[in-house]
Structure 1
Amino acid sequence: MNTQPAQAADADPRPLLGEPLPLDLLNTRWTDDSGAHDLLERPGGLAIWLSSAGLADVAPDTQETLGALLATRTALSSLVTSEGYGLERSREMLNDTLAHGRVRHLLGTEGPETVVETDTPGWLAAWRTAEVYLRLLEEGADRIRKCANPDCRLRFYDTSRNGRRRWCSMAACGNRAKTRRHYERHQGGPGPDRIH
C-alpha cells in the first residue's frame, strides 16, 4: 500500500517559485547538489508548472502547450543572458509567440472588459508569459537579475526597495555565500564549496 500523500508527486520541486511568469518559466531549469534539472522534461512537469503558474484552469496540458512554452523559454533565455541565438533572432522568436495572441477590449454588461485571445488554447500560457516579459521590461528591465551565485542559473525580479537583491534565495545561495565568507575569514583560505 502506498503511504505517500497523493499530492507529493505533483509538488513543484524547484528551489525558487513565485517569480513573474517569464522568470518562472526560465526557472524550470535549475541545478542543485544532485545535478541539472528541467521540470518541463520530466513526466507531469508541464502540469506542475501550469499549476504553479496559476494557468492550469486556462491552458491545456498538451504537446502544443509544451512546444510553445519551450520555444518561448529558448527566446527568453537568449534575451536575458545575451547568449545562444543572436538578440535579433531571439526577438523574432518572442515576437512569433506574441503573434499567436492578442488582447481584445470589449464593453461588457458590467463595463469595460479585456479578453486575451490566442490562435489555439495551446498558445495561451506562452503568450501570457511573453506579454508579461514586455511589461517587466517597461517597469524595470534592470530589475531582471541572475542569482549572484555563479553556479546558480535561477532568475528573479528584484522588488526590493533599494534594488540590491543579489540571491535567488537568502535561504539557499545567500546563506551558502555567507557561510563560505565566514569560513574564509576564520580559516584563512577558501571555504567549502557547497553551492547549488
Structure 2
Amino acid sequence: MSGVLDPRPHLGEPLALDLLNTRWMTADEPQDLLHDVAGLDSWLTTNTLADRCRSDEPTLRALRHAREAILTAVRIGSTEFDDLNDVLAHAHIRRTLTATGPVDVPEVPATEWLPGWLAADNLLHLLADAPHRIKKCDHPRCILFFYDTSKNGTRRWHSMSTCGNRVKAARHQAKKT
C-alpha cells in the first residue's frame, strides 16, 4: 500500500469522474497525479483498488489511455466513443450465482487494464442512470468533474467552498469597481 497521500483537491466522485480528476489546476500550473507510478499507487489506494491492481508502468499507461477515452466520451456533444469502446473491449462480464445472489465478475485477461476498465464501466452506469448529472466545474480555470447529486440537478461547481466562492467573490469585486 502507498505511503503517499492523495494530494488532489476533490475526492469522492464515482470512479470514472475520479479518474478524470487526476488532473487539476493549482494557481500556477496544471497537476497530474498519474505522472508516475507513485501517483498511480495513490489513486489505486484512494479508490480501494490497490489489492486488485498492480502499480506498474503497463497499468499506468492503460489507465492514462482510459482517462483520455473517458474525457472524450463526456465532452458535451461528443460522438467519439471508439477509444472508450477499445478500453471496454479489454474485459467481459461473467455472471454467476452465489449464496448471496447474482454477481457480475469482470474478467480482464490483461490485468493492467482492470482499473481503466472499471472506470469505463462505471461511466456506462453513470450515462445509463443520469447523463445530465455528469458535469464539469463551472469555474473558468477549473478542470474538475463531478456527479451532481443535488435535488434539482443545478449544482455548478465541484465545490462551493472553493470554486463557487471564487466566482461569487469575483462578481462582488466587479460590482465594487
**TM over 0.5, shorter chain:** yes
TM-score, reference length from structure 2: 0.91
CA distance in 1, matches of 2:98, 2:14: 29
Amino acid in structure 2 at the alignment position of 1:72: A
2:174 partner SS: helix
Structure 1: 5+ residue runs without aligned partners?
A: 1-5, 189-196
CA distance in 1, matches of 2:174, 2:138: 18
Structure index of larger Rg: 1
The match for 2:88 is 98
Q: State, as a whole percentage, how many aligned pairs show the same letter.
A: 45
Q: For residue 53 of structure 1, report the CA deviation from its aligned partner.
A: 1.6
Amino acid in structure 2 at the alignment position of 1:106: T
Structure 2: 5+ residue runs without aligned partners?
A: none
The match for 2:172 is 182
Q: Which moved more, 1:153-162 or 1:109-118?
A: 109-118
Q: Does the Cα contact within 8 Å between 2:136 and 2:145 map onto a contact in 1?
A: yes
2:71 partner SS: helix
Q: CA RMSD in A?
A: 1.9
Q: Give yes or no for the alignment of 1:45 onto 2:39.
A: yes
1:61 partner SS: coil
Q: For residue 114 of structure 1, report the CA deviation from its aligned partner.
A: 2.5
1:61-72 equivalence runs, <5 A: 61-72=55-66
Aligned length: 176
The match for 1:32 is 26
Going from structure 1 to structure 2, the CA distance change for 1:59 and 1:140 (only over 3 Å counts) comes to: same
Q: For residue 38 of structure 1, report the CA deviation from its aligned partner.
A: 0.6
CA distance in 1, matches of 2:101, 2:24: 43
CA distance in 1, matches of 2:134, 2:104: 27
Select 2:14's aligned residue among 17, 20, 32. Answer: 20
Amino acid in structure 2 at the alignment position of 1:102: H
Amino acid in structure 2 at the alignment position of 1:107: L
Going from structure 1 to structure 2, the CA distance change for 1:82 and 1:113 (only over 3 Å counts) comes to: closer
